[in-house]
Amino acid sequence: MNLEDLRAAQIDERATDSLQPLPAAFYAQAGDYLAELRRRRDRLAAHADRPFESAEVRGLTDELETAEEVVEALYERRVGKVVKRASLAAAGVPTDDEGLTDEEQSLFTDLVARIEANRESVLDVLAARARAGGEEADGDATDDGDDAQDPATAGDASIPETAETSGARPVDDAAGTESAEALPDASSGPSGRPDSGEDATDTPSEESAAGSIPDGTDRVTVRITADVGEIYGVDDRVYTLGNEDVVTLPEANARPLLDRGAAQQLE
């Protein structure tokens, strides 16, 4: 393995959202390559009169640091895809676990088991709460039955209240009718005519006008020129943006990237 192999794997991984197949011992081979670079650099530095001024020592140091950065970036890109694949597998969606390294296969298996166990735990809690709620409802229904009216006092409630029993003064039917006719209709205006309500319907309220929402969102197709990472779009979507990715974004999200040189507009 060499630096070009690592860079090629990183480019392939960035080019797609799917997990690209790697040899099972990929990270072990990368570790051996980094260890060999470090040994060669240290050996040259030990025999050089001025190691910090040696071109060979500086060249091996640069290659070592670059290789470490590429391997770490490649792992970060792949681990997110492994987590996503594990969540799908735990939900019963058929997935392909081929092409994983030994370390990624171990992570995938552990994640699937943990997600499934957590899902069962949550469902058990929900079922227990539902049973407890049903038993409590049954108990409330039984208590309501105990509150039935006592036969000893039922006779008092069965006697209708009249003017004589309540002490209220009888109302003359004719006087009551005349008083009702004299009262203006509650829906009438000052002249007694029904209010047309034109003031309430001719113009929309300021509150409803301010709450209006545009029908669509302008979008821009761009090429990402830096590892931006995840952003939250104004269209309520999450975008994972890596160097050389081509993606169509809402203009409100694309414009800041274009302004700071993290993207190039394609149309």
Q: Are 86 and 76 in contact (CB under 8 A)?
A: no
| Nearby residues of 136 by Cβ (< 8 Å), 6 or more positions away | none
Mean pLDDT of the chain: 76
pLDDT in tens, 196-228: 444 433 333 333 333 333 446 789 999 999 888
pLDDT in tens, 32-85: 999 999 999 999 898 888 888 888 999 999 999 999 999 999 999 999 999 999
Identify the pLDDT of residue 158: 42
CATH 3.40.5.50 fits 219-265, yes or no: yes
**Reading across the β-sheet that carries 219-224, which strands appear in turn?**
246-250, 219-224, 263-265
Q: Given 3-state DSSP classes, what are the helix, strand and coil percentages for the chain, each rounded to the nearest 5?
A: 60, 10, 30
Q: What is the largest CA-CA distance in the chain?
A: 126
Confidence bin at 177 (pLDDT 50/70/90): very low
Candidate CATH numbers 3.10.20.30, 1.20.58.1030, 3.30.365.10, 1.25.40.10; the one for domain 3-117: 1.20.58.1030
Rg of the chain's alpha carbons, rounded to an integer?
39
Tokens of 72: 């770490």
pTM of the full predicted structure?
0.48
* Domain residue ranges of the chain, discontinuous segments joined by +: 3-117, 219-265
Angle at 11 (CA atoms; ends 5, 15), nearest 5 degrees: 150
Tokens of 167: 């002490």
Taking the C-alpha atoms of residue 67 and residue 4, their distance in angstroms, rounded to an integer, is 9
